[in-house]
Copies of this chain bind each other. A is one copy, B any other.
């Protein structure tokens, strides 16, 4: 299983956010949705061995974790707008107990450290300047931790590193969140793991 935990620092947590301004009023929800596509989709198919875990930390009711499980989700399309509607549905569930709001879509009120503990067991933290992924062994069954267009906050970074995360880099340029996931998937695909 490949898990991608993406922290959306400003992503809104109201189930009424507008589908017409995902990049603006919804707090860069477009970054989370593009990251989920990179985690879950190949041409004409869903990656059954992958999971997109989106942590929404924006107003009005954070923190919310929305998990999209490739092996259970049905009819997941690349259209960001349709997938934003899935997120809205998930945000209607604000309990701390995880609930499957639609096939393969799990929602809960969950903090970043709680999300790490739920996902695990091994962690890879993708950060510019980490060891080159092409020449480094990646733990099996890892959760890859990524941020949106802001870096992880210091306390978030500490929480990841405290769990013995392997810090990996992807190349000479810092790239967008979804681009980073594409590069990880390709590297793991090539290794056949």
- Which of B38, B80, B170 is the one whose CB lies under 8 Å from A80? B80
A9 to chain B, nearest CB (A): 15
A144 to chain B, nearest CB (A): 15
> Which residues of chain B come closer than 8 Å to A42, judged between CB atoms?
173-176, 179
Q: Is A95 part of the contact surface with B, judged by Cβ < 8 Å?
A: no
Interface residues of A in 29-75 (CB under 8 A from B): 30-31, 34, 37-38, 41-44
Q: Taking each of A20, A79, A182, A190, which has the highest tally of chain B beta carbons within 10 Å of its own beta carbon?
A: A182
A186–B174 CB distance below 8 A: no
Given the complex of chains A and B, what is the CA–CA distance between A41 and B174 in angstroms?
10
Q: Is A183 part of the contact surface with B, judged by Cβ < 8 Å?
A: yes
> Which residues of chain B come closer than 8 Å to A82, judged between CB atoms?
23
Given contacts A23-B81, A42-B174, A173-B43, contact A186 B189 (CB under 8 A): no
Interface residues of A in 165-193 (CB under 8 A from B): 170-176, 178-179, 182-183, 185-186, 189-190, 192
- Which of B30, B172, B174, B189 is the one whose CB lies under 8 Å from A78? B30
> Which residues of chain B come closer than 8 Å to A20, judged between CB atoms?
19-20, 81
Given the complex of chains A and B, what is the CA–CA distance between A183 and B43 in angstroms?
14
- Which of B30, B176, B189 is the one whose CB lies under 8 Å from A173? B189
Q: Quick one: closest B residue to A192, CB to CB?
A: B172
Q: Taking each of A21, A172, A179, which has the highest tally of chain B beta carbons within 10 Å of its own beta carbon?
A: A179
A24–B176 CB distance below 8 A: no
A residues with a Cβ closer than 8 A to B are: 19-24, 30-31, 34, 37-38, 41-44, 77-82, 149, 170-176, 178-179, 182-183, 185-186, 189-190, 192
Query: When A and B form their complex, which 9 residue pairs have the shortest distance between CB atoms, in order from nearest?
Result: A23-B79, A43-B174, A182-B182, A179-B182, A42-B173, A171-B186, A172-B189, A171-B189, A173-B189
